[in-house]
Amino acid sequence: MAATTPPLKGLKVLELGGLAPSPFAGLILADYGADVVRVDRPITPFGPPRDTLCRRKRSIVIDLKRDTSRRAFIELVKIADVLIDPCRPGVMSRLGLGPETLRQINPRLIYAHLHGFRPDGMYGARAGHDINYLAVSGILSLLGRKDEKPAPACNILGDFAGGGLVCVAGILMALLHRQLTGEGQVVTANMVDGSAYLATFPRQHLGHMNMDKPRGENLLDGAAPFYEVYETKDRRFVAVGAQEPQFYSLLLRGLGLDEENMPKQWDREKWPEMKTLLAEVFRRRTMEEWRVVFDHTDACVSPVLEMGETERPYRPLVEMSESPSLNVDVQEDFPELKKGEGCQEVLREWVPGLEQAMDVDDTSKLLTLGLAKL
């Protein structure tokens, strides 16, 4: 394989329009060479935030309740490799287009459901967002400071890690299975179970050493002075993760503290006192001044950078020597993909024999297939 050939080149993906997790799954596949076509509705059902995860994708507009548009959709399903469905459980089946139907039309199809809650659980039919999925997965109970309410972690952990990324893992495993058997299958991911799986390590350690106290009183959640975020003189922040004794020694040395005169690192009774001391020392210099001290040491002290300060260029999800991703060096803040953009190209490349039978409305961009034209 040529070094410029991405691993998913030639893979055809239909991504039913949805909010962030499913477009993120499609984005990952597109970045690694898949031909991802977003299937939009004629109406605009979502308010902000709009879909900005559309790099390299194209769009078709389908009305699944309109027979001629439905036919056009089915023709594309016949040759698709993957369909990503972010709808609530049963929605596509009630339209007669669920996996039990579409996989009869195309037995090689990998039908990927991406749900919020566990579909067969008590919340399966309910609406939710990242904060709700983390709440019922048990993860939200771990996040936050001592004596404070649990703190949501933006929407990264549930929507994108536990949802979109986990869904992609399922799709890739299904593709490997299809290589062996020639058959597609149904992949079902949900953000509750996906996030809970990511929390395997802390869940296993609950009640054991360093994870046996309430939230905010453990090694990794804010109690340890050597695993904490500290404010600097200019009201910026540095992150400290000096757990190992050799790194802890470098931390104290950089702070100008004599380890011989300090409490022992693992004397938990002294941790509050140590945190107060380290906080006072870190406030003596600016973040950049501390970078001069720590950036080239193994003290595990890092600046807390704003999003616009991180290293460039951007890198792909994973780098591969023989089949790299497509270029992601530049990632637009708000890339746009208008409804129906690239539709004619999709028809020409996906269904060249039916291109003349397909109609695209000039105004709505609705795609239909008229059997009279066949």
Indicate the SS3 state at residue 3: coil
Torsions phi, psi for 35 (to 5 deg)? -90, 100
Which entry of 40, 85, 159, 193 is annotated as an active-site residue?
A: 159
- Would you say 186 and 111 are in contact if contact means Cβ atoms under 8 Å apart? yes
CA 22 vs CA 87, 93, 163, 307: distances in Å? 10, 18, 8, 23
State residue 1's pLDDT score: 42
Please report the sign of the dihedral spanned by the C-alpha atoms of residue 249, residue 251, residue 256, residue 257: negative
CA 344 vs CA 59, 237, 258, 367, 369: distances in Å? 10, 51, 70, 10, 13
State residue 43's pLDDT score: 81
Name the pTM for this structure: 0.93
State residue 48's pLDDT score: 47
Q: 96: which 2 tokens?
A: 């007669």
Indicate the SS3 state at residue 264: coil
Please give the Cα distance from 27 to 164 (Å, whole number).
9
Mode of pairing for the β-strands spanning 82-85 and 110-115: parallel
- Would you say 84 and 114 are in contact if contact means Cβ atoms under 8 Å apart? yes
Please give the Cα distance from 45 to 17 (Å, whole number).
10
Q: 295: which 2 tokens?
A: 């950036």
- Would you say 118 and 192 are in contact if contact means Cβ atoms under 8 Å apart? yes
- Would you say 282 and 290 are in contact if contact means Cβ atoms under 8 Å apart? yes
DSSP 17: -
| Best CA proximity match to 195, nearest among 122, 123, 125, 116 | 116
For residue 303, give the amino acid letter. P
For residue 38, give the amino acid letter. R
Please give the Cα distance from 54 to 44 (Å, whole number).
16
Please report the sign of the dihedral spanned by the C-alpha atoms of residue 50, residue 51, residue 52, residue 58: negative
Residues in the chain: 374
- Ranges in the chain, pLDDT < 50: 1-2, 47-48, 374
CA 250 vs CA 85, 240, 292, 300, 322: distances in Å? 51, 11, 14, 9, 39
Strand partners, 366: 61
Q: Per residue in 55-67, pLDDT tens?
A: 999 999 999 999 9
Long-range Cβ contact pairs of 304-307 (< 8 A, separation 24 or more)? 304/229, 304/236, 304/237, 304/238, 304/239
For residue 71, give the amino acid letter. R
Alpha helices in 78-184 (DSSP H): 91-94, 99-105, 130-137, 166-181
Q: Is 159 a catalytic residue?
A: yes
For residue 139, give the amino acid letter. I
3-state SS track over 217-240? CCCCCCCCCCEEEEECCCCCEEEE
CB atoms within 10 A of CB 125: 11
Residue 341: left if φ>0, alpha if ψ -120 to 50, beta else—which one? beta
